[in-house]
Amino acid sequence: MAKKQQNNNLNNNNNNSGNNGNGNNFFNNNPLLIFVIFSIVTIFAFKAIFPEQQMGGDSSNSNIQAFGQTSNKTVPYSDLKALISSGKIEYVGIGNTQIKAVSKIGTGQVTTFTARRVIPDDTLIPELEKNSISYGGINEENVLADILFGWVLPIFIFFAIWMFIAKRMQKSMGGGSGGILGIGSSKKMINSEKPNVTFDDMAGNKEAKEEVQEIVDFLKSPDRYVRLGAQIPKGVLLVGPPGTGKTLLAKAVAGEANVEFLSVSGSAFIEMFVGVGASRVRDLFEQAKKVAPAIIFIDEIDAIGKSRASGGPMGGNDEREQTLNQLLAEMDGFSTDAAPVIVLAATNRPEVLDPALLRPGRFDRQVLVDKPDYEGRIEILNVHIKEVKLGKNVDLKEIAKMTAGLAGADLANIINEAALLAGRASKDQVDPSDFKEAVERQIAGLEKKSKRISPKERRIVAYHESGHALIAEITKGANKVNKVSIVPRGLAALGYTLNTPEENKYLMQKHELIAEVDVLLGGRAAEEVFIGEISTGAGNDLERATGIIKSMATIYGMSDIAGLMVLEKRSNQFLGGQTQKDFSDAMAKDLDDHTKNLLNERYEIVLQKLRDNSPAIEKMTAELLEIEVIIGERVREIITEFGGKVFVDEDLHSDAIIETAKKEPIIEETPSNSDETTENK
């Protein structure tokens, strides 16, 4: 059967070759060369039919032509004047640059002497009149040259440009590798390589690597799956926040399988001209089939894969839709059995993709490449520090604790920034202080020691940040303090309190959200208690606190105002999240009142906490004004020194579970034939 199919394919190829031979002969494939040959033949034929003396058409050369056929001879100007003086010249024709003189008719052959005219020469005309030699003007223009350069050459240039553009347009419309000025070609936009990246270089995403492992096995030995009747997924969609390693994972799959890796960006398919994107999709899959087994990787596929319903009743982008339709057709049209080609795509906006793109048979599987957890961060750090000279006291676990919530790209940047800081300080190795400074740069921004602030403002900032730090340490559910500083950082921050959880939080309880609101209000409250006047420094804190309380009421159902109703829908979860409001004006007024009242309630509680711990605030502020920076351990020492209670090593998520378990009655198991068991239940 396979042999028969092979023979049929050969026959089809031969037939296609024969058909192409009929239409793609020498004349059709080389129209420009044919036009050049035609032009040359036409010029020579025109010259043969109309010789120069017949084309002259100017009576100014008729006197010389009247002497008939003469022999031509080029002589210097001085020799020509000597011939004129000796009386051997019958007629002289004077042009702008040349002089032609015809010898007297004698026994011998008549000769036409041609010389280059020397200007100025006032003796020529008197000499001719002295020797009674007739003279006149001659026309030096060449009509053939005028026609060639005035008509033929411009037409030739215009025709050549037209043929060039027409040929490129023909390739573009036919789905070839051309297009107007190359815009239809995808060869230059496709990066084809065999990556040397493996799963060892891809750390921190164990589950994602396990999901794509079977793709590697299929590309290495497809017969094992085909024999069992299994169909490998045609496409795998990698989703996750930016910087988590989606592209690196795709390269690692190709590197592990040792196959060709064809990568292209989704935006490369979109052009101004209609049909170009579809042509590039066809070209991409054709190239992949030629080098199969291969992996096609489309980065940021949401550029062409947006839902077709998002354009509204008037329709969306026609070019994008045509490109998407072509991609769908190509993924349906090729078989991975004959030519193993796997399509991998990456996006951080999976919610906007067209449902037809995500159905089984196209992108069968979605693999989440999320931000790494604590163990994942340690693995990523170990990968990126291979080329870095570390100090003996560098502890990667401490760095992993300080970088909760950061992606792999952020961790790589932190290590590079630490190495740059060590090099700037002329160190032989990277110390823990360099890593701490790099983490702070990543989170809070660049330190601006040169930024001058007045003593009054430094005092306000010190009290403000002390308020944040104290509330964070004495409030149950708040993130613990890592560092407090009054050194300006970033674009606008005059100081900052670094609260870094040791682990990623995938959910938050109600008391934890309230604790975060209290911490945000702590800065403004400290200004009011210890300075007696508030400032503009709490603007961002109030904005974030208001957002948390509104989210509790509108999204999480943590208020009496809306109960369990969801008033806002969240989208773009990997890009920070955006909300769409869906509630009435009356509900909006109730929501505003609820937010205002809860903020005021929490603010009063924070004020009282600060008044109760005022000695600790004063001590903390004094040290900040003196040394500008204090660490979290020192903050906790100051609080306990003045009788405050610090929540240390608290399991925040188990308290509610323990309390619920205590309330439930304990049911003892009894033998199965007892009716009392049912009654007790």
- Give the type of residue at 40: I
As beta bridge partners, residue 493 has 489
Give the C-alpha distances (Å, rounded to integers) separating 239 from 242, 503, 554.
9, 22, 27
**Torsions phi, psi of 477, nearest 5?**
95, -5
Q: Is-contact 299 333, C-beta < 8 A? A: no
β-pair type (496-499, 481-485): antiparallel
**Which residue type sits at 63?**
N
How far is it, in rounded angstroms, from Cα 646 to Cα 648? 6
Look up residue 3 and give its two tokens: 């042999």
Residues 6+ apart with CB under 8 A from 249: 202, 205, 208, 209, 212, 238, 367, 369
DSSP-derived letter for residue 559 is B
Strands 629-631 and 481-485: antiparallel
No. of helices (H) and no. of strands (E), the chain? 27, 16
Length of the chain: 681
| DSSP tag of 311 | G
What are the CA-CA distances from residue 13 to residues 8, 18, 174, 395 (Å)? 9, 9, 19, 65
CA 136 to chain centre: 76
Q: Is 465 a catalytic residue?
A: yes
**Beta carbons within 10 angstroms of residue 7's beta carbon:** 10
Question: With helix as H, strand as E and coil as C, how does 378-407 read?
Answer: HHHHHHHCCCCCECCCCCHHHHHHHCCCCC
Instruction: Answer whether 427's CB lies under 8 Å from 476's CB.
Output: no
Catalytic entry in 260, 319, 465, 512? 465
Q: Are 235 and 345 in contact (CB under 8 A)?
A: yes
Strand runs (DSSP E) across 597-667, as ranges? 629-631
Assess contact for 608 and 619: CB atoms under 8 A. Answer: no
Tokens describing residue 473: 């340490």
192 pairs with which residues across the strands?
A: 262
SS3 call for 104? coil
**CB contact at 8 A, 523 and 468:** yes
C-beta of residue 203 within 8 angstroms of C-beta of residue 376: yes
* Angle, vertex CA 507, rays to CA 506 and CA 508, nearest 5: 135
Beta carbons of 341 and 294 less than 8 angstroms apart: yes
Residues 582 and 568: beta-carbon distance below 8 Å: yes
Residues classed as catalytic: 465
